[in-house]
Amino acid sequence: MPSAEQPVLIIVMGVSGTGKSSVAKALAQHYRYRYLDGDDFHSAQAKKLMAEGTPLDDTLRAPWVDNICTQLRQHAASATSCTLAFSGLRRDHRQRLRQLPFRQLFIHLNGDKPTIAQRMSKRQNHFMPTSLLDSQLASLQAPNAEPDIIEVSIAPPLPEVIASCIKHIDATLG
């Protein structure tokens, strides 16, 4: 059981295009935590495959999750609280993060496919093409029965989404 003395890890999860990076950055700034983006831990090969429209399978995702966990263990050892933008598509990947020595909370950003596709199509300089949205949605193992996950809709404007996240975090982690 995590203790109040442990650093905090807020994982902002969801399929590509839901605003994970924007929300996790804003939360890091609000709480004065270290911001980490899961995309930074992908290998060059994995980014190249995704840029070419090839979805990653669990074999290709495994080293990515390993890299994230290694970095987070280092931050935990120095008592550094963090936010992490992380797709969290697979239940076992979420479970690996739960094993880390943090007080944790997952924020699952969700929205409908047309909204997400529209947002993805407006991004510039991102390796993940809109064509991979269907594979992201198919890979998502819904976190329905996971009690440490808070669902937040991406339908409202970004400032409202961030405010909703802060309200849930404050109520849950105090």
Instruction: Compare 139 and 124 and report the one with higher pLDDT.
Output: 139
Q: For residue range 37-62, list pLDDT tens digits in order.
A: 988 887 778 777 777 777 777 787 88
**What pTM value is reported for the model?**
0.85
Q: For residue range 81-123, list pLDDT tens digits in order.
A: 999 999 888 899 999 999 999 999 999 999 887 887 776 666 5
Domains contained in the chain, CATH given:
8-173 (3.40.50.300)
Show the beta-strand stretches assigned E in 2-129: 8-13, 34-37, 82-85, 103-110
152, 107 Cβ separation under 8 angstroms: yes
Q: For residue range 131-157, list pLDDT tens digits in order.
A: 566 676 677 778 888 989 999 999 999
120, 16 Cβ separation under 8 angstroms: yes
User: Does 20 have pLDDT greater than 50?
Assistant: yes
